[in-house]
Amino acid sequence: MNKEKLVKSLRIVPDYPVKGIMFFDVTTLFKDPECYREIIDALYEEYKDKGITKVAGIESRGFIAGAALADRLGAGFVPIRKPGKLPAETLSETYQKEYGTDTIEIHTDAIGPDDVVLIHDDILATGGTAAAAFSLVRRSHPKAVYASFIIDIIDIPRTTPIPADVPVSALLQLGENS
């Protein structure tokens, strides 16, 4: 994987969505076919032998690589969405973000006890969204849970820790001043 190309292609937006936040915009990686292919290829290589049966992508940028990865792995795709976006019965989890609170939901029948689930999102920062997603997924008692991210922002304190028994990977580890 050409990490230098990925880093050079990444757009960093200061003070978005609020002042003081340095936003890592991965949409610039998705629009470049070489970068997008490298992301999917690297994620596939990491998880091809883990027995993944479902990839749970977190709204919204987690859908973009998550769905492509699910296809490549021969797994199902499960959307984890903001409230009111899923049409059937849901489980929900409210969590703290760097700049407020948010809630995510998953269909109650999306994951079963025989599933091996990979939770995917674009960025790991404080850990709030990821920890909420783990909480939702674990309510269905899958066999195993993994987590993948495109970027781990390593110099932001994890205010909500990811459970220690969940293997976590990130393609890039960057600081806010990268």
Q: Give me the pLDDT at residue 97, please.
A: 76
Element (H, E) at 120: strand 116-124
Helix, strand, coil % (nearest 5) of the chain? 30, 35, 35
Catalytic residue among 98, 138, 158, 176, which?
Answer: 98
Q: For residue 34, what are the CA distances in angstroms to 3, 28, 47, 143?
A: 12, 11, 20, 34
pLDDT at position 126 over 90: no
Partners of 33 in beta bridges: none
Q: Mark 103-137 as b/e (b = at least 16 C-beta within 10 Å).
A: ebbbbeebbeeebbbbbbbbbbbbbbbbbbbbbbb
pLDDT at position 108 over 70: yes
Domains for the chain: give ranges and CATH numbers: 50-174 (3.40.50.2020)
pLDDT at position 124 over 80: yes
For residue range 65-83, list pLDDT tens digits in order: 999 999 999 999 999 999 9
Q: What letter does residue 53 receive in the DSSP assignment?
A: -
Q: Give me the pLDDT at residue 112, please.
A: 98
Q: Give me the pLDDT at residue 177, please.
A: 65
Average pLDDT over residues 84-107: 91
Examine the residue annotation and report whether 98 is marked as an active-site residue of this protein.
yes
* Contacts (Cβ under 8 Å, ≥6 apart) of 133: 56, 58, 80, 93, 104, 119, 121
Catalytic residue among 38, 61, 81, 93, which?
Answer: 61
For residue range 14-29, list pLDDT tens digits in order: 999 888 888 999 999 9
Q: Give me the pLDDT at residue 178, please.
A: 59
Q: What letter does residue 81 receive in the DSSP assignment?
A: B
Angle at which helices 61-73 and 33-47 cross, to 10°: 60
Of 170, 147, 140, which is closest to residue 58 (Cα–Cα)? 147
Helix, coil or strand: residue 140 = coil
Q: Greater confidence, 21 or 147?
A: 147
